[in-house]
């Protein structure tokens, strides 16, 4: 079986998310990008945010390629290395008054956004994991908190410990693509304001990323934790005797009084 299809089927079996698990790859050479991908500006007639592209991929099943000409978000253009880090951005002007109180706090916030170098920058391609004709850099899964917990448990199965992640309420596309690629570590992703506004990610959703190089480990972890009893849907404990109001208990006593003795 195709390895990507196998991983996608395992995620469906053990995690059961509402949308497609995705593969993400950054191509430095556009000639290597498969021909049958959608380009937002060319094929949809408008520019989009990266979170919109991710939502199209996981909701529609499309494979989307996004480069500078396709993107409408100035933060993404900066973080992904398509435009330089200008002083206006670096000094915190975008965050100040919206996310933070002062320019200094804004400067710290922008400095913390993961960023590609010019050498790392390239066209971002995202599509359903089981349908991709190339090996991705990163696997991305959106789900509820219990499903993300299930993935965290699987990722820790061989190594133990915990997964360090950071949260800032903005630029989650940089956490998804850039931070995962640069650290080589899985990440728990808190969808940012833009992901909810433009990507229409729902209030109950979170995300999880895994470097593709560690997917065999995650695959083993999904099976191992399943056998150990860590499962989704969570098997709630139901083996108890219910308690009822006094009037209900009185009726039960009357039932018992009607039961012939002997």
- pLDDT of 74: 96
Neighbouring C-alpha atoms within 13 Å toward the C-beta of 63: 19
Joined tokens for residue 30: 């556009």
For residue 154, what pLDDT is reported?
98
Q: What distance in Å separates the CA atoms of residue 23 and residue 138, rounded to the nearest whole number?
A: 6
pTM: 0.92
pLDDT at 56: 98
Residue appearing with tokens 């000639």: 31
The pLDDT, as a whole number, for residue 194 is 95
Taking a C-beta distance cutoff of 8 angstroms, is the pair 149, 210 a contact?
no
Task: Calculate the alpha carbon distances from 5 to 27, 102, 130, 179 in Å.
Answer: 21, 48, 4, 25
Looking at the structure of the chain, the number of domains it has is 1
CA 136 to chain CA mean position, Å = 15
> Which pLDDT value is given to residue 1?
55
Phi/psi for 187 (5° steps) reads -135, 140
Q: Domain range for residue 85? A: 3-258
Question: pLDDT per position in the chain (262 positions), as tens?
Answer: 599 999 999 999 999 999 999 999 999 999 999 999 999 999 999 999 999 999 999 999 999 999 999 999 999 999 999 999 999 999 999 999 999 999 999 999 999 999 999 899 999 999 999 999 999 999 999 999 999 999 999 999 999 999 999 999 999 999 999 999 999 999 999 999 999 999 999 999 999 999 999 999 999 999 999 999 999 999 889 999 999 999 999 999 999 998 777 6
């Amino acid at each position: 079986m195709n390895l990507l299809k196998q991983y996608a089927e395992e995620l469906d079996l053990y995690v059961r998310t509402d949308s497609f698990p995705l593969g993400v790859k950054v191509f430095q050479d556009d000639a290597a990008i498969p021909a049958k991908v959608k380009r937002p500006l060319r094929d949809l007639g408008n520019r989009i945010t990266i979170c919109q592209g991710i939502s199209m991929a996981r909701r529609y099943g499309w494979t989307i390629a996004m480069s500078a000409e396709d993107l409408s978000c100035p933060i993404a253009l900066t973080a992904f290395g398509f435009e330089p880090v200008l002083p206006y951005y670096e000094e915190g002007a975008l965050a100040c008054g919206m996310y933070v109180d002062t320019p200094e706090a804004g400067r710290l916030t922008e400095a913390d956004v993961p960023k590609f170098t010019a050498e790392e920058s390239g066209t971002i391609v995202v599509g359903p994991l089981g349908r991709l004709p190339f090996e991705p850099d990163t696997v991305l899964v959106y789900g509820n908190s219990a499903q993300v917990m299930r993935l965290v448990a699987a990722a820790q199965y061989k190594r133990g410990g915990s997964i360090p992640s950071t949260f800032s309420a903005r630029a989650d596309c940089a956490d998804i693509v850039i931070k995962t690629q640069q650290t080589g570590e899985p990440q728990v992703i808190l969808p940012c304001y833009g992901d909810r506004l433009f990507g229409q990610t729902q209030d109950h959703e979170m995300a999880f990323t895994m470097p593709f190089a560690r997917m065999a480990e995650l695959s083993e972890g999904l099976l191992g934790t399943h056998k150990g009893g860590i499962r989704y849907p969570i098997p709630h404990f139901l083996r108890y005797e219910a308690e009822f109001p006094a009037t209900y208990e009185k009726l039960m006593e009357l039932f018992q009084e009607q039961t012939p003795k002997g």
